[in-house]
Structure 1
Amino acid sequence: MGPLFTVLVLALVLDAVCGDFPWLFGRVPHPVVWVGNLIAWFEKRLNKPRYGGRDRFLRGSLTTLAVIACAVSFGGVIQLISSFGGIFRLADILLLAILIAQKGLYQHVKGVSVALRRDGLAGGRAAVSMIVGRDPQSLDQAGVSRAAIESCAENFSDGVVAPLFWYVLGGPIGLCAYKAINTLDSMIGHRNERYLYFGKFAARLDDVVNFVPARIAGGVICLAAGIGRKTSGADAWKTMLRDASKHKSPNAGWQEAAFAGALDLSLAGPRQYGAELVEDPYIGDGRRDADASDIDRALKLYTTSCILNAAWPVVLKMTWVGLV
């Protein structure tokens, strides 16, 4: 437990201090950028409109496996370095701090709240367009605020809980494999004409690797809501269990429903993506007229959730070791 606990604590502290390491990755590409460039290289050469659906699926699957293999190889090098122990564990700490998005997510969501207060709706739309894919011009103040809160909820799992989960189970190899899968899904896992077949394997694989972390994230949020002020843990649990399945994603609904219940809001609902209107149901039965103050409440809930999230990996690792 000792080395794992030390790595987790130091990595989370380093992330809290440095965030996205702008002083470093303003000069050199971020590892996720490397992965993204590799995906784009494969996609440009293998995803041609002239290919049929089956062919594009096989080519997309090959792309997915090749990118994961490269990420696993890099993780294996870090794992080998860290296996020497002592100061060499700094490689683990730095990798985890870089690939977790705890402070970065907070800053991006907080930016929406600040922009709404300082620059009004136009500023809020500009800020939220940096973290969501929907058409910002279709959003009023409540829509901007709900979009920021939904992003905070969903990315708590993808950017914070899941990286820790896969690091605990698989070390740097598991962490790098997860980030590769998550990046693949974000780039080619879309249900549009270009990626429906090419990215299908990556999208389904992302659903699989996020299945357990998403539910852990939902539970952590509910616990945090019970601890926090002006949030309801009981309502978070009730709404999560009732409404999680309403989300089109098999995983994202757990976090969004927990946030909705905790904050007494209604999230999701109809959304505009370019020319496409997605008629999703609302999650939660609270207010729809969210504003900047609700974003700030969501960030307090997120901060408490992050603190609690630092504890469960040690318990999981101890249980895992006991089982095997």
Structure 2
Amino acid sequence: MSILIAFLSLAVERALGYPDWLFNAIGHPVTWIGRLISFLDRRLNRATDSDELRRRRGVQALLVILLVPGLIGLALHVLLWMMFPTGLVIAAILGSSLLSQKSLAEHVEEVADALETGGLTLGRIAVSRIVGRDPEKLDKAGVARAAIESLAENFSDGIVAPAFWIGIGGLGGGAAYKAANTADSMIGHKTPQYEAFGRAAARFDDLINLPASRLTGLLIVLAAFLVPGASPRKAWLVMRRDARKHRSPNAGWPEAAMAGALGLSLAGPRSYGGEVVEDAFMGEGGRREAESTDIRQALKLYRVADWLLLGLFAILSAIVIYLTILISGHGASAL
């Protein structure tokens, strides 16, 4: 059932997204998880405590953050399994809330639209909605690069990884992944406030994103075969050569693949909260500056790669159904 839920969740979310009226009415799983994380942060992360105590409390907080959504998801999964096949449809709708295919494409496309219609000022405003770096430090090429990097990284974190963990652990696995990823984004920072308390969340997020980040890079390489103007060869070579240069053990894989496919240089030094983070460049763009047209080309690669992901889960679902029928048939014959 988990593989089928992952496949159907991808299909539902790609078609419908998460409706604004539903968000306005009840919020979103990420906002619910965010409230839990904020509560634990306020209660357990005290500046007067030692780093060792804050690290221990960070582990305790992470366990709560994982267990609460994970157990709720598991309970729903078991309940809906008992309602099969109607429960499968409901589970797919619930699982779709853990994905972000439609919204990711929309937000990145807004950056390209803003650059083309309003120039740098509107481009900075649009990109500030999807990245954490200082927008006022970005020129037009920097805005375009930031949008492309966000598209590549969030394809992994926001789509491939949750689909992977839904496929492995059903609604419980998907909810626990989303909780861990949200915790990393909220408290997994190397700042005086969170370096100790958020250490466990950051390291755990790195671990659980390992398989999805590699799969995402491969999907982008394969997509480059199908998108005119993209280079699958460079996507593969740059990913193999440059992915490990990134300061993140996971983000480099999809970003390097995208850089190679587009013929750009991505990553490099970036400014967050007034502090410059040094990072190696990935890709072979040389002096060529990224443009809004590169954002649109990246979106083409993303959409094709997303279809490939959907196709992969469709194949896995077909295999599961076939094996289930085969095993059921053997069981009936034995009786």
Fold similarity call, TM over 0.5: yes
- Segment of structure 1 superposing worse, 30-39 or 269-278: 269-278
Alignment partner, residue 78 of structure 2: 80
Alignment partner, residue 177 of structure 1: 176
Give % identity. Answer: 45
User: How many Å separate the matches in 1 of 2:107 and 2:277?
Assistant: 24
Deviation at 1:92, TM superposition (A): 1.4
Residue 304 (structure 2) pairs with residue 304 (structure 1)? yes
User: How many Å separate the matches in 2 of 1:275 and 1:48?
Assistant: 25
SS at match of 1:154: helix
User: How many Å separate the matches in 2 of 1:246 and 1:169?
Assistant: 29
Aligned residues: 319
Residue 234 (structure 2) pairs with residue 235 (structure 1)? yes
Residue 142 (structure 2) pairs with residue 146 (structure 1)? no
Alignment partner, residue 290 of structure 1: 290
Alignment partner, residue 11 of structure 1: 9
Deviations 1:15-42 (CA, angstroms, capped at 9, x unpaired)? 1232232110111121111100000001
Deviations 1:251-293 (CA, angstroms, capped at 9, x unpaired)? 1000000000000000001111122111211110115411111
Deviations 1:230-258 (CA, angstroms, capped at 9, x unpaired)? 10111100000000011000010000000
Distance change >3 Å, CA 221–CA 307, structure 1 → 2 = same
User: How many Å separate the matches in 2 of 1:31 and 1:50?
Assistant: 32
User: How many Å separate the matches in 2 of 1:277 and 1:7?
Assistant: 42
User: How many Å separate the matches in 1 of 2:201 and 2:260?
Assistant: 31
SS at match of 1:131: coil
8 Å CA contact 1:235–1:261 kept in 2: the answer is: yes
Deviations 1:42-72 (CA, angstroms, capped at 9, x unpaired)? 1011111101110000111111101111011
Alignment partner, residue 58 of structure 1: 56
- Segment of structure 1 superposing worse, 179-188 or 281-290: 281-290
Alignment partner, residue 258 of structure 1: 257
User: How many Å separate the matches in 2 of 1:9 and 1:113?
Assistant: 30
SS at match of 1:130: coil
Deviation at 1:13, TM superposition (A): 3.0
The partner residue of 1:32 within 17, 22, 30 is: 30
Deviation at 1:7, TM superposition (A): 3.8
Alignment partner, residue 89 of structure 1: 88
User: How many Å separate the matches in 1 of 2:71 and 2:23?
Assistant: 22
Deviation at 1:6, TM superposition (A): 5.2
TM-score when scaled to structure 1? 0.94
User: How many Å separate the matches in 2 of 1:191 and 1:4?
Assistant: 35
Deviation at 1:91, TM superposition (A): 2.5
Amino acid at match of 1:192: T
Alignment partner, residue 203 of structure 1: 202
User: How many Å separate the matches in 2 of 1:203 and 1:9?
Assistant: 28
Deviations 1:166-188 (CA, angstroms, capped at 9, x unpaired)? 01111111111100100110100
User: How many Å separate the matches in 2 of 1:170 and 1:13?
Assistant: 18
SS at match of 1:227: coil
User: How many Å separate the matches in 1 of 2:56 and 2:222?
Assistant: 42
From the CA coordinates, give the structure whose radius of gyration is larger: 2
Unpaired runs of at least 5, structure 1:
none
Written as runs of structure 1 = structure 2, the 5 A alignment for 1:54-133 is: 54-84=52-82, 85-133=84-132
Deviations 1:293-315 (CA, angstroms, capped at 9, x unpaired)? 11000000000000001122355
User: How many Å separate the matches in 2 of 1:163 and 1:284?
Assistant: 27
Deviation at 1:8, TM superposition (A): 4.2
SS at match of 1:27: helix
User: How many Å separate the matches in 1 of 2:152 and 2:176?
Assistant: 23
User: How many Å separate the matches in 2 of 1:7 and 1:47?
Assistant: 37
8 Å CA contact 1:4–1:314 kept in 2: the answer is: no
- Segment of structure 1 superposing worse, 225-234 or 75-84: 75-84
User: How many Å separate the matches in 1 of 2:70 and 2:265?
Assistant: 40
User: How many Å separate the matches in 2 of 1:4 and 1:47?
Assistant: 36
TM-score when scaled to structure 2? 0.91
8 Å CA contact 1:8–1:310 kept in 2: the answer is: no
Unpaired runs of at least 5, structure 2:
324-335
Alignment partner, residue 156 of structure 1: 155
User: How many Å separate the matches in 2 of 1:48 and 1:284?
Assistant: 42
8 Å CA contact 2:243–2:256 kept in 1: the answer is: yes
8 Å CA contact 2:221–2:236 kept in 1: the answer is: yes
